[in-house]
Structures are given as C-alpha cells and as structure tokens.
Amino acid sequence: MTPFHTRQCLTWLMMLVVAGILFYADRQLPRMGDPRSPASTHVSPYYIEHSHHETGAPNFVTAVLADYRGYDTLGETTVIFTAGLACLLILGVELGRVSQGEE
C-alpha cells in the first residue's frame, strides 16, 4: 500500500510542478488578438493586403489554407487517408472483394 501511495504523491507533485511552469509561461505569451503580437504585425497584414491579388481567392482562409499553406493541407489530407487505412487494418476488414450479393 505504501509504495502505491508514494507513487501517487509523486505523480501529483509532478503534475503540479508542470502546471505551475505552464501557467508561468502562459503569462508571457501575447494576449489573444493582441494587435502588437508578432503574428499580427508580420504575417497577418501580408495576407490581408496581398492574398486577394496574389491568389485570386476572395477569402483569406481559403488563400492561406490551400495556397500559402498548401503543403500543410496535403499533410492533413494524408493524415485522414492514413486514419482510414488504419481503421481497416485494426478492424481486420479485407479490401479487393467487391460484394456481388453471393447469397
């Protein structure tokens, strides 16, 4: 009983220390939507000013998602595709047998 208790105490101590570090670091991050944060002073104005005439897309989100960050979206699509294949593998479903209604 005692070793379990010690381990539990250690776990809690560890979690509290990590949470304290994270909360301390959180105070130094820029606030959400701060106009003077680095993201708002470098990247966002560029997209707002140039995305329409550079990409022809009237929507910033589309321009960033599919054009400026197209490589990232390719990775996301591949992740979804891999997830589908992993479902097949884990559930043990065979491919290649087109069902014709044998019975």
Partner 1 sequence: MRTPFGSSILDAACRLPVPFIILFAVYVVIHGHHSPGGGFQGGAILAATLILIRMVRGEDDPWGLDRTRAAILASCGVGLYAGIGLLTLVFGGNYLDYSVLPLPLVPEKVRFMGTLGIEIGVALGVTGVLVLIFDALTAGETQESDDGK
Is 60 a binding residue for partner 1 by CB under 8 A? The answer is no
Look at residue 90 and give its three-state secondary structure: helix
Closest approach of Cβ 8 to partner 1, in Å?
37
Alpha-carbon span 71 to 18, nearest angstrom: 34
Alpha-carbon span 19 to 11, nearest angstrom: 12
* Interface residue with partner 1, options 6, 11, 41, 73 (CB under 8 A): 73
Tell me whether residue 20 or residue 70 sits nearer to partner 1 (CB atom). Answer: 70
Name every residue whose Cβ is closer than 8 Å to that of residue 73 and which is 6 or more positions away in sequence: 65, 66
Is 53 a binding residue for partner 1 by CB under 8 A? The answer is yes
Closest approach of Cβ 48 to partner 1, in Å?
16
